[in-house]
Structure 1
Amino acid sequence: MNARTQGVSKADNLLEVRDLRVSFGAHEAVRGIGFEVARGETLALVGESGCGKSATALSLMRLVPSPGRVSGSVRFDGRDLLDLSASEIRAVRGQQISMIFQEPMTSLNPVLSIGAQIVETLRQHENLSKTAAWKRAVELLDLVRIPEPQRRVFDYPHELSGGQRQRVMIAMAVACRPRLLIADEPTTALDVTIQARILELLDGLKRELSMSLLLITHDLGVVAQHADRVAVMLAGRVVEQAATVQLFARPEHAYTRGLLGASLNLVDDLHYRGWK
């Protein structure tokens, strides 16, 4: 591993992925990738649709659907998550590692109020009474800046805007103060103004809750503004890793250069800010 692919020291890594493979029958969606996420760091996993980003995220949580197979090593704070029993990994999900899925309208249960769904998460992992869990649900909606949380806690997903539903998903994901938050395309289908607000919210929560963040995206503008380091995926492999400033200023892999070249406004902006 050379200087460009090296992260922080091993002692500072919260997550270490080695030779991760995800296969569906004869098709290998993720092909022996490796990366690290340091404590308090935001790592962006970048690549085009179909390159294996979401399969990677699901494999870290042991959520790859059957008949998918996962192998390799996923060490979280020293423990290999792929070796844990079903009950042990359930204790990790939500409490230690949490995930924001791509589409909140399909991820939220349409027949339960948003408060009930947050309460379910809290009671599952935090052993709170029903009263305490509802109080905490209101606090979480306030934390993610849902207006009038005492009233909106009883709303159903269809009564909320797209940006508000995404904030509810974030509230559920951070309910148990996880140490690692995986955000899989957290601004999909949102307009530009709402995207910026959601990403600023994630940055603030990361600092406030002392989390690490794995940000999965194809948007290089998001990466430039919000990531500490970047891992670039192509056809199931990580082809380049570097600090964000370094990667944007001196990309080494042809695919990375192509991604940057396809984003002319971003390249102009980086020149303006003195990155190149």
Structure 2
Amino acid sequence: MIYLTKGIKQSEYKGYRETNGDFYNLVELTRKPQQAFNKSAKQLAEYKQNTAIYAIYGNITGMKRKDEVINRTVLFIDVDDESNYSEASKRLDDLLGAYDINHVIYPTISNGIKEGARLRVGVELGKPVNADDYLKLWSVLLVSVRLHGDQTAVNHSFKQLQGLFVQTEQNSDNRPIIYDTGHGLPVDEFIKLYDANTNKYKVQKRVVADISDDEAGFPRWVITNRLMLNTIMDPESNFQRFGGWDNMLTALGGWVFKDTQNFVTTAGIVEYVNNKGSNPIEESELVNKFKTWAKGWH
């Protein structure tokens, strides 16, 4: 079932069924997007509030926004403040394409206005999933590509509306990606991946994890130092505690530089930890990232 609403202030949905499936509707709305050209950032913010079309693909107990979302048939991932559109979209496209999973990727209405990657991914699901399974699938995909996504729809509100593609003057250089010749994501297989390694895929909200029972009473700096040392020894098991691989490396670099005031030593540690990953950042890319991160350490 497809539920649409114009703007985010409406109290009811307009719903209908697409004979070709929910994902087909998303593909068509990505191929023929809404357009909002010649608008300032302020005007686009108003457009988001009052005019843009939002959707939920799945099943809801009724037709009002207050009604419960039972399940979803399309999984959405929002990526903000991470690298850039071309890099982040390629990571996601490569992963999903390798599994022959149908998906669309498009710049959000904030792309080109706010810094960093601003994109949304819609992934066809092989079967409808509830909130718990949705979180597991969302986590596996993001951890696999080492990106940090907006957790609102998975941790706070399963009812969250998803903005569809709106082409603007500001985001028109970043073209959408449409992959619709494959199949839906094999839900059961990906849930097994999550259940088999919960610590790896569990999404953490804070840069420094919540204090556990055996850390209670210790100063924050002790807990931070423990986390950093554990990260150096085993980054694959700890990077999600920082919200992503890139976030882990820059946090670790800042921690080392704080006590050494030496960029060479810091770069060596960052490179060492990066190379311990199963899919490390390429050297040339890491050099560029390091230069950007280092500006913040001053």
Under TM normalisation by the shorter chain, which class is it?
Answer: under 0.3
The structure having more radius of gyration, on CA atoms, is 2
Q: When the two structures are superposed, what TM-score results if normalisation uses the length of structure 1?
A: 0.24
Q: When the two structures are superposed, what TM-score results if normalisation uses the length of structure 2?
A: 0.23
